Chains A and B, each alone.
Chain A
Amino acid sequence: DAGVTQSPTHLIKTRGQQVTLRCSPKSGHDTVSWYQQALGQGPQFIFQYYEEEERQRGNFPDRFSGHQFPNYSSELNVNALLLGDSALYLCASSGGLAGWNEQFFGPGTRLTVL
């Protein structure tokens, strides 16, 4: 089992650009959550996708959007990048048929905005 995988590992963008981050959930999971972790801070919840729809959203602007595909993989899109968007973006998967519903985290994508 490969666990949760994310791509790319690192990304450098400039202010105003747009970025797309990708996540493949752990085998058997159908729910994907995205978190932003700024340097020295804990992860902050962005949103969660289930059955290809956004089920819950945190306190992030509309510049942050997402998508979930029929195979349960997910994308996080950020438009009009700001310097403050520099962070580690974490994807977590959960759900499926297992009784214990832990959120498993991927290694993250480190985004640097210059």
Chain B
Amino acid sequence: DAGVIQSPRHEVTEMGQEVTLRCKLISGHNSLFWYRQTMMRGLELLIYFNNNVPIDDSGMPEDRFSAKMPNASFSTLKIQPSEPRDSAVYFCASRPPTGGGSNEQFFGPGTRLTVL
């Protein structure tokens, strides 16, 4: 089975540019989580969706960040305009429907973003 797929794996961009990170959920999963990992702040939850609906976006740092789920299997995280302090590794994770027993979140390999 394919795991969570993220693209690109690495992104280098210049300050002010728009960045779009992509995530494909595991088939059959219905919850999607976006995390950011930095040395200073560790692993932070940015936003999560359940059945395509954003449930909690309190971790989104500011209006420059936006996330969408255009369909049940795909999500994007957009930063516009990007700033050097956005440099981090961004992970998405998917989870199967609750009640099935596991409740485990399955993480993708991450996108390493560098904003110059």
| A in complex with B | no
Q: Which residues of A contact B (CB under 8 A)?
A: none
B interface residues with partner A (beta carbon < 8 Å): none
